[in-house]
Structure formats: structure tokens, C-alpha cells
């Protein structure tokens, strides 16, 4: 069974640009969550999607947005990039609606560098 | 909302020794406490979890203990091996539609 696939794995952008990251969950998983990982802050929750609907949102500015498609694939977008957005963005899928009922399966992440 | 504190941030042990990582949480309604291991260049992977109706859970060399009264839980790794070197994250969440809240991680180094 294929794992969670995130693309691209690495990307470099400049301040003010926007970026779109993609996540393909494990087949059959309908819940997709996104986390931002930085050395100082650990894993911070961005948002969760289930059946194409955003179910939860973390404490991030409106520049961070996402969506989920009918095949459960998800994208996240960051507009007007800032230096502080440099991070590893992790996607996780789950077969359960709520993440506290089962395992999260993480992808290897997309490492974004903002110059 | 929930807040999870994790200590220590770095830990070095000799191969064969035990390692203990501790976490505290703030929301008394939290009832699910997983631990994830992240190896270099990879995403975190669940290694063990515990729910609030259980005080301790073991899986081979790994054990987790939970003290709901004190609102803290710990990961214990016995007979550490070099392949245990990684970053470990604790997390907590409560009932309902609440996402996992992670601690900031502990970088464990096992010295051969």
C-alpha cells in the first residue's frame, strides 16, 4: 500500500511569491491534515480536511489556505510569502474523521525555503 | 486550547541505557496521547499511543505511562540502540473534532 505522497519535496521561493503544495493520502483515507514544522516550534497544526470540507483550522493567518478534492488529494497554498514561512510542511492522512481515534500517517514533507 | 510541553529538548544516552521523555498537557479533557518518532528526512511515525482509561502500555522496549491527575505522560525506551536515535514527539487531543497538539520534540542520540 503506497504511503502519503507530498510534492514537491523541496522548493525555494522569494518573499512575496505564492506557493502550492500537494498531498496524496493513502488510498481509502478521507482525512488529510497539514502541519508546519520548524526547529523552534515543533509541529503546528494548520488545517484538516475531510470529504472536501475544512473541519479544523489552526492559528495561522489567512495567507495559508487549503482544499481537498473529491479523490481526497489535498493542496495547501501560501500567498505573499514571508521569510518566517520557511519550514517543512507535513501532510498526514487518516482513515478516521477525527484524529484522536487513530493513527496519523505522515508524508516526508515539502521543505520550503523563502529567500 | 490544549498546550503540550515536552522535556528535555535533547537527550544523549549510551547504547543499552534507558531513555525517558516527559510531557505535560493543559486540557483535562484530553484523552488520547500518541508518541511519534521522526527519523532524519522522514515524516513522523506513530510508535505507541495510550488512552485515558489506561495508566501504562508496553510494546517490547517501549512503554508509555499516563498520570491524569498530574496531567503528564512519559515515554520510556529501554536497552536503547543506535537506531533509536531520532526526534520524538508527544501529542494530546481531546474528544470531539479536535486536532492533535504536539510537543516541540526531543532529539534523542544513542551513542554506541
**Average pLDDT over chain B, rounded to an integer:** 94
pLDDT in tens, A43-97: 999 999 998 999 889 999 999 999 999 999 999 999 999 999 999 999 999 987 6
Q: Which chain A residues contact residue B31 at CB under 8 A?
A: 100
Of the pLDDT bands very low, low, confident and very high (cuts 50, 70, 90), residue A100 is low
Q: Which of residues A98 and A42 earns the better pLDDT score?
A: A42
pLDDT of residue B71: 95
Spell out which residues of chain B touch residue A40, defining contact as CB-CB under 8 Å.
Answer: 104
- Given its phi and psi angles, is residue A85 left (phi above 0), alpha (psi -120 to 50 degrees) or beta? alpha
Q: What is the mean pLDDT of residues B91-108?
A: 88
pLDDT tens string B53-88: 889 999 999 999 999 999 999 999 999 999 999 999
Residues 6+ apart with CB under 8 A from B54: B66
pLDDT digits (tens, 9 = 90+) for A70-84: 999 999 999 999 999
**pLDDT at residue A41 greater than cutoff 90:** no
Q: Give the B-side interface with A, CB within 8 Å.
A: 6, 31-32, 34, 36, 41-46, 49, 89, 91, 93-105
Chain A: which residues have CB within 8 Å of chain B?
4, 33, 35, 40-45, 48, 55-56, 58, 90, 92, 97-101, 103-104, 106-109
Amino acid at each position: 500500500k503506497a504511503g502519503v505522497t507530498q510534492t514537491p519535496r523541496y522548493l525555494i521561493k522569494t518573499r512575496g511569491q505564492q506557493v502550492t503544495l500537494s498531498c496524496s493520502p493513502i488510498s481509502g483515507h478521507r482525512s488529510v491534515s497539514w502541519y508546519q514544522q520548524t526547529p523552534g516550534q515543533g509541529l503546528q497544526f494548520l488545517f484538516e480536511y475531510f470529504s472536501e470540507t475544512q473541519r479544523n483550522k489552526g492559528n495561522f493567518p489567512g495567507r495559508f489556505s487549503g482544499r481537498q478534492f473529491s479523490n481526497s488529494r489535498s493542496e495547501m497554498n501560501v500567498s505573499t510569502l514571508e521569510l518566517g514561512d520557511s519550514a517543512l510542511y507535513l501532510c498526514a492522512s487518516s482513515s478516521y474523521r477525527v484524529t484522536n481515534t487513530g493513527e496519523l500517517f505522515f508524508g516526508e514533507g515539502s521543505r520550503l525555503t523563502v529567500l | 486550547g490544549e498546550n503540550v510541553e515536552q522535556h528535555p529538548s535533547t537527550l544523549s544516552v549510551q547504547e543499552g541505557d534507558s531513555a525517558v521523555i516527559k510531557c505535560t498537557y493543559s486540557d483535562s479533557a484530553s484523552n488520547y496521547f500518541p508518541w511519534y518518532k521522526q527519523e532524519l528526512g522522514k515524516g513522523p511515525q506513530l510508535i505507541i499511543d495510550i488512552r485515558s482509561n489506561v495508566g501504562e502500555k508496553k510494546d517490547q522496549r517501549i512503554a508509555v505511562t499516563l498520570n491524569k491527575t498530574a496531567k503528564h505522560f512519559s515515554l520510556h525506551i529501554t536497552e536503547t540502540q543506535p537506531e533509536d536515535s531520532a526526534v520524538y514527539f508527544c501529542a494530546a487531543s481531546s474528544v470531539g473534532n479536535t486536532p492533535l497538539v504536539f510537543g516541540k520534540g526531543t532529539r534523542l542520540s544513542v551513542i554506541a
